[in-house]
Structure 1
């Protein structure tokens, strides 16, 4: 039954299209040609406005591959049709539609070459919605009329190579190992909870979204699969505008927030604040481990249940001051803070190889985690009379705390002693960064950039462990287990890059150097202090060839490095569960990877296709691994991964009609993974997934969104996870005269209350199986209201600091172009 309902959801847009398709009363058609070249003009941008409101687009589309176009309009009137194409003369036509003459065919319209054009999209009167450059793809959100009534997360669904699933999880070419930046600057909020932040960011505050698949020399040599750079509108109109929003979801989530932008004279300010809370119901879990080399502690079974709750809040503020036409001072502040509480109840039993009981106990654990981050960015930008020549001086301060505590109590059942333990870990990272960038265009087709950067990064961890004494009713400190750890890094880097952008061919090449000195200090064990230093040269190169105005070939090579994060370095021993102990490894080195990429893009008004193939390898990857001793599983990290991967991705979008849009994003990889030590660990196989989405607009501007996806297990060094799937359905509508009020209803996995995820971990000495249950069914109601009016724009620095050189856990993201950090 569930499969039938799921199939009906996926097919709903097609059924609705077949049954409710309506014919527009008014129509303008024709064909764009170049008489001199005796050819058609494909994929030109068409903008339709009314004579009474020339600044407001009522329709935007593109010609097809043969230059043909058909514009459907809802009312009669006098319209201005603006045709634009790269390197062509801009053409405008005035068309009057009446009830007596509802359809007008403009015939063949000549669009000759513009001899004054510079051969770049940026010099034309209006931009294509999708633009492929040498190392990135750009989607122009400000030129999409839907941006006026959408959130940034909703617009992400229209960006090639990006997918947003039913759980609002963002993926780039099917992978979650990416960075998200705003105007070229990192944001702690977007590193921790990108989906929630983007849902609260109105799309009309965003200029464009850049998907950078081949990061150049100006970026930190961080080994991610790509970068997403959100360029916000550099000008907010004089006055103010804002949005307030609220949402509630089953089984127990809620949120509220607001956004405001204002400008007075040369001073501008933008702010955003959001709060979200959640409470999850009790779910079940089970695990079984068999130790092949221990006949006494042979089988370990754990059955339990847990529940959790928490909240997080985040805020941003940006301010700028135009000293004069050539000097700009800007600053931004980002803040994120969250806390989580988890309560678990577990029954533990150990058995020998004959299945006789060795010991048994019940355990109750309550853990708390406070996490977050804040950063302050200050940029001074000096421009000249030469367009795009910029000198930028930047400073960034960031502080990211990550504190945890847990009380665990064991109640013995058989052959075990009672134990009550309280562990407290205070950890975090503080950074100071200084940077200088200089960019110089030469003769409009050449571009040179250089820069220097310094990072002072200090990570710390302090652990206190207490054991309860039942006889004295007191907590006693376990001094031997206490630990104070500091990890200090001084990173200095510089880069130089060159770019050429011709009419058909473009190329980029660069070289980056990075030097790092590392010192690790143990306050209570100074004899274990150590330090090291290393130096890397990181080359990069990419190129593009425009086959036609809609088709582009791209290729590139990158060498990337990844420094371990504090969560992998932290030596804190988490033995809250005495049968499953975890700790970090302060001896970790940076991993180095090499990646080759080849891509093909074809974008038109009706359809969009992007496909790429890539090959990557690394020999010292940071891997989490587990080993078993005396019936206890120990998990930590090491530079033991030797990985080779061949990947293929395909993105396809079809605007079937003005009301129906279908999209698919699929990817697949063959992975060969081995341990570079004598453990004998290895694994290989194919992994991949597919995401499909359909969007349909009903009468009365009611928008429907349905879709789903299936993903196969990831290839891991020790074991394998389970296949997962999701599906969703959503409806939304705008209200009031200017569509300021938006109400949406969404259902995620409406026919599936729980989803079970399994995982296996093994080596030659043990095999472990675990199953966890998650609440998957969710219904959400969201309301947002926009207010205010703007009349002039706020400037901000075009470049800033990007620190993307460390590993991040979870769904992270970022990039840097219109912000150009290093």
Structure 2
């Protein structure tokens, strides 16, 4: 306890001394440098420095502390010979002698190394907490390795604590209140973390396998021009020193899921390997649903005849569930050819199976033609459906990095192969059918969809320092992307024979050739920092339909996309940042896929192969202050999109010649470039450590959205939406940790829809055993309510569709992990690599045409 009090007094004394000694007087001499660890080469934050005359080392003339990156700058008033002593908990004190003179007024030490004090590490308990958030010119970083909760939490739980990132009650991830983002792993896009896979994989991924989470809200010119407005980059742990280290883990939940996995990192000489594997099986309980569609009387045309659609009411009562396993893994290996050349290979794999079951009772009544004053039944039935899917992804990255004798000059050659298969098979049948209903669906239905995307990418990047504090970056890139979707749909006729009723656009191919080049420049001058760049990108697009070649089309694009970021360092811990970027976003395969999801013939959906790319302009203003006890990050942003891709719903009214006319009267959903979308958002993150063992944190945002689709649908929508996540973290004696958290999401703004708010709360208790090698965690999510009622309303011309779902909310979890091994040297990774962020669909959470479900 005395050591802790002495350490606290030393920090306070250092802070007071720095303030006192920099408050006035003329500046004659300057010293600067960075304190780093001798083995890992990583910074030693908040190291204390004591400077004294060499002739009187016992009498310090200046005391100061490094910043969170181990850097320091100090001014001295007199020339002479000095000795500087560096100290940090867990390190052996180090000394550096230097001389200041009229001919040598500035001394730049560069990197100053400190060694671990193995004896002190055994005896001293460190209770001070480092700031978890760091802001740089173009990104914000949240340190999981410095957050004690990460030891026993999964990655998705930790996402809730990252500034500007939110996770709602359905585990859908948003960045700055939007689903328009990409998740990378170690600077590269990964299909492992794309689409609906992301939440499932992150829930099964231990947070302890992640070092940092980076939020890049102002992507620079090195990122694809036709990219997204924000990137979440997961940096996995790389503390693999000579030898090996690893973790094995297991978890189980009362909502029918269980899993396990392992992580290992090893290094021998110039070879280094890091691997992670996870397996998870989910068997969710049945969720009940109720929906009602209210249709007004309307007239519609078929051929030369005019028909009147009666006023009607459709009621549906049902339930659904899903089950199935999935597994993932990634392997990264590196070989240090020599001190200037590094070869790195990475493989990400994801494989899964799913079974979706649904049961539905439906009845539709005519409220125009009454019988004895009562509505007339148009039809009623019971429907039983099941669908099975296999999905996955494979990513292979190869990077060669060449360094030169010039510091920070790098040439990187990269290749990436990516493939994402997604196959579905569905069956449905009707029972107790009464009334007039679609003839095609009076009998059992069977459909198969085979879809996939394959990419080949080659890239060259070059970075070099120009002058003092200036950097130039340039590169070229080529992407070949092949997407396909092939659907077979059959139905049994009255003779019990299968008949093919596949659509003419059921065999779809989509090819993109993308060529790009970029140039970027970054400079630091005193307290200012600036980064600017430009990217030129050309695209050749071809779409083909094997059964309907007359619908084939192709087009070419060429775009020049600028970006700029300006920062100003208010003081050692505070920064202002202003950024602008233009992004162009192509729709992914599930937005383009024309496959018709008709497992519920009253609610059909498909993609739109004629979609154009979105082009958005983004402006961000950010203020951040991060200190040991208090941290805040506030961001104000504005986004404008001129041809926004939106999902919309209408009542089907197709011409009689169109095969889709058999669904007339049903709810039909698809995607379109529906008009303009504007959003102004305010996002706030705060953290407070009143005492070393206690932390309070908050992460939230508020935004105003305006969607204008007057020309396309005659609709406009605007409103304010907000979200907040907050919690407390206790680090108690005997290696106990307690975390309490909760969140609230107001309904987000949609063109046609509105949903009820989300809310959730949780508790997590964990303890370490066996000298912190074994960790056990007990968690409770929503312990005070068994189910959560979720309502949604979709409004369109002539109809209102309301649905209610009761989701199981109460969940208890048990997680166990065990760490083993020892290491002594760090694995090197290339500092550049391929990042394909151009395809819309990575973070949407909504599948397009081929989505299987109730």
* 2:476 is equivalent to residue 488 of structure 1: no
The reply on whether 1:84 has 2:76 as its aligned counterpart is no
Q: Is the Cα–Cα contact under 8 Å of residues 131 and 627 in structure 2 kept in the other structure?
A: no
Q: 1:501 aligns with which of 509, 524, 528?
A: 524
Match of 2:107 among 91, 112, 116: 116
Aligned residue for 1:800? 833
For residues 115-152 of structure 1, what are the alpha-carbon distances to aligned partners after superposition, in whole Å with 9 as ceiling and x for unaligned?
Answer: 4349x9x8898997643222212345556787777766
After TM superposition, give the deviation of residue 571 of structure 1 in Å: 0.7
Deviations 1:279-308 (A, max 9, x none): 111121111112223453622211111121
The answer to whether residue 639 in structure 2 is matched with residue 648 in structure 1 is no
What is the aligned partner in structure 2 of residue 515 from structure 1?
Answer: 538
Residue correspondence of structure 1 range 616-655 to structure 2 within 5 A: 616-628=639-651, 629=653, 630-655=664-689
TM-score, structure 1 normalization: 0.85
Structure 1: runs of 5 or more not aligned: 1-21, 68-80, 97-112, 814-822
My pick for the range that moved more, 671-680 or 506-515, is 671-680
Residue 577 of structure 1, CA deviation: 1.5
Q: 2:249 maps to what in 1? A: 245
Say yes or no: does 1:460 pair with 2:484: yes
SS at match of 2:509: strand
The Cα offsets for residues 674-698 of structure 1, whole Å up to 9 and x where unpaired, read as 1152421111111111111111123
Deviation of the 1:182 alpha carbon: 2.1
Which residue of structure 2 lines up, in the alignment, with residue 705 of structure 1? Answer: 739
2:417 maps to 1:435: no
CA distance in 2, matches of 1:799, 1:330: 11
Partner of 2:57: none
CA displacement at 1:588 relative to structure 2: 0.5
The equivalent residue for 2:385 is 365
Q: Deviations over 1:402-426 (max 9, x none)?
A: 1111101112432146311101110
The match for 2:321 is 307
- The 8 Å contact of residues 178 and 812 in structure 1, kept in 2 or not, is answered as no
1:555 aligned residue (573, 578, 587): 578
Question: Which is further off, 709-718 or 695-704?
Answer: 695-704
Aligned pair 1:777/2:781, yes or no? Answer: no
Alpha-carbon offset, residue 812 of structure 1? 7.7
Q: 1:132 aligns with which of 116, 131, 135?
A: 135
In structure 2, C-alpha distance between the alignment counterparts of 1:232 and 1:414, rounded to whole Å: 58
1:184-583 map, 5 Å: 184-192=187-195, 193-195=197-199, 197-198=201-202, 206-232=210-236, 236-294=240-298, 295-296=309-310, 298-354=312-368, 355-416=375-436, 418-471=442-495, 473-480=496-503, 483-583=506-606
Q: How many Å apart are 1:216 and its aligned residue?
A: 0.9
Q: Distance in 2 between matches of 1:475 and 1:389?
A: 65
Q: How far is the alpha carbon of 1:803 from its aligned partner?
A: 0.6
C-alpha offsets along residues 706-725 of structure 1, whole Å, 9 cap, x if unaligned?
A: 11111111100112111110
Does the CA-based 8 Å contact 1:687-1:712 persist in structure 2?
A: yes
Alignment partner of 2:798 out of 728, 741, 765: 765
Is residue 46–residue 62 contact of structure 1 (8 Å, CA) maintained in 2?
Answer: no
Which one of 750, 764, 769 corresponds to residue 735 of structure 1? 769
Is the contact between residue 46 and residue 83 of structure 1 (CA under 8 Å) also seen in structure 2? Answer: no
Query: Matched residue of 1:419: which SS?
Result: coil
Out of 748, 752, 755, which is 1:714 matched to?
748
Q: Is the 8 A contact 1:304 1:347 kept in 2?
A: yes
Q: How many residues align?
A: 749
In 1, the alpha carbon distance for the partners of 2:113 and 2:621 equals 28
Shift of 1:572: 0.9
Q: 1:13: which partner in 2?
A: none
Q: Is the 8 A contact 2:150 2:208 kept in 1?
A: yes
- Asked if residue 692 in structure 1 is aligned to residue 726 in structure 2, the reply is yes
User: Matched residue of 1:574: which SS?
Assistant: coil
Matched, 1:726 2:760: yes
Counterpart of 1:9?
A: none
Contact kept in structure 1, 2:491 and 2:499, CA below 8 Å: yes
2:791 and 2:202 mapped to 1: Cα distance? 30
1:165–1:708 Cα contact (<8 Å) kept: no
Q: Which residue pairs with 2:372 in the alignment?
A: none
State which of 600, 607, 615 in structure 2 corresponds to 1:592. Answer: 615
Shift, 1:46, TM fit? 13
**Is contact 2:427–2:444 with CA below 8 Å preserved after alignment?**
yes
1:352 alignment partner, SS class: strand
**1:697 match: secondary structure:** strand
Q: Deviations over 1:633-652 (max 9, x none)?
A: 11111111311111111111
2:184 is the counterpart of 1:181: yes
CA distance in 2, matches of 1:479, 1:54: 63
Larger radius of gyration: 2
> How many Å separate the matches in 2 of 1:275 and 1:285?
30
Structure 2 vs 1, CA of residues 124 and 501 (structure 1 numbering), >3 Å: closer, same or farther?
farther
Matched, 1:745 2:745: no
Q: Is the 8 A contact 1:435 1:451 kept in 2?
A: yes
Match of 2:6 among 2, 15, 27: 27
Which piece of structure 1 moves more, 248-257 or 760-769? 760-769
Q: Aligned in 2, Cα 1:173/1:116: closer, same or farther, shift over 3 Å?
A: farther
Q: Is the 8 A contact 2:47 2:87 kept in 1?
A: no
1:184 to 1:88, Cα distance in 2 relative to 1, 3 A? same
Residue number in structure 1 paired with 2:629: 606
Whole-Å separation in 2 of the counterparts to 1:163 and 1:292? 39
Q: Is the 8 A contact 1:291 1:767 kept in 2?
A: yes
Q: 1:411 to 1:152 in 2, by over 3 A?
A: closer
Taking a change above 3 Å as real, the CA distance of residues 414 and 158 of structure 1, as seen in their structure-2 partners, is: closer
- Show the counterpart of 2:697: 663
Indicate how the Cα distance of structure 1 residues 666 and 319 shifts in structure 2: closer, same or farther if over 3 A, else same: same
CA 1:124–1:47: 2 relative to 1, 3 Å: closer
- Quick one: structure 1 residues 201 and 767, their matched pair in 2 at CA, closer, same or farther if it must change by over 3 Å? closer
Quick one: structure 1 residues 657 and 687, their matched pair in 2 at CA, closer, same or farther if it must change by over 3 Å? same
Q: Which moved more, 1:479-488 or 1:325-334?
A: 479-488
The alignment partner of 2:587 has SS state of: coil
| Deviation sequence 1:609-657 (CA, Å, 0-9, x none) | 1111111111101111111133211111111131111111111110121
User: C-alpha distance in 2, partners of 1:780/1:149?
Assistant: 11
- RMSD of aligned residue pairs (Cα, Å): 3.4
Question: How far does residue 361 in structure 1 lie from its aligned partner after superposition?
Answer: 1.3
Matches of 2:382 and 2:609, distance apart in 1: 33
Contact 2:684–2:701, Cα closer than 8 Å, also in 1: yes
128-137 or 386-395: which moved more?
Answer: 128-137
2:783–2:810: 8 Å Cα contact kept in structure 1? yes
Q: Does the aligned pair in 1 maintain the 2:700–2:725 contact within 8 Å?
A: yes
Aligned partner of 2:706 in structure 1 is: 672
TM-score (norm 2): 0.82
Superposed displacement of residue 190, structure 1: 2.1
In structure 2, distance between residues paired with 1:286 and 1:429: 35
Alpha-carbon displacement from aligned partner over 1:39-96 (angstroms, at most 9, x marks no partner): 79xxx999999xxx99999x98799xxx9xxxxxxxxxxxxx9942443367535999
> What SS does structure 2 have at the residue aligned with 1:396?
strand
Deviations 1:159-214 (A, max 9, x none): 44445678766544444433222221112222254455456656665554322121
* Deviations 1:589-621, CA, capped at 9 Å, x for gaps: 100011111111111111111111111111101
Is the deviation greater in 232-241 or in 597-606?
Answer: 232-241
Return the alpha-carbon distance in structure 1 between the equivalents of residues 492 and 457 of structure 2: 44
Q: Counterpart of 1:102?
A: none
What SS is found at the alignment partner of 2:261?
strand
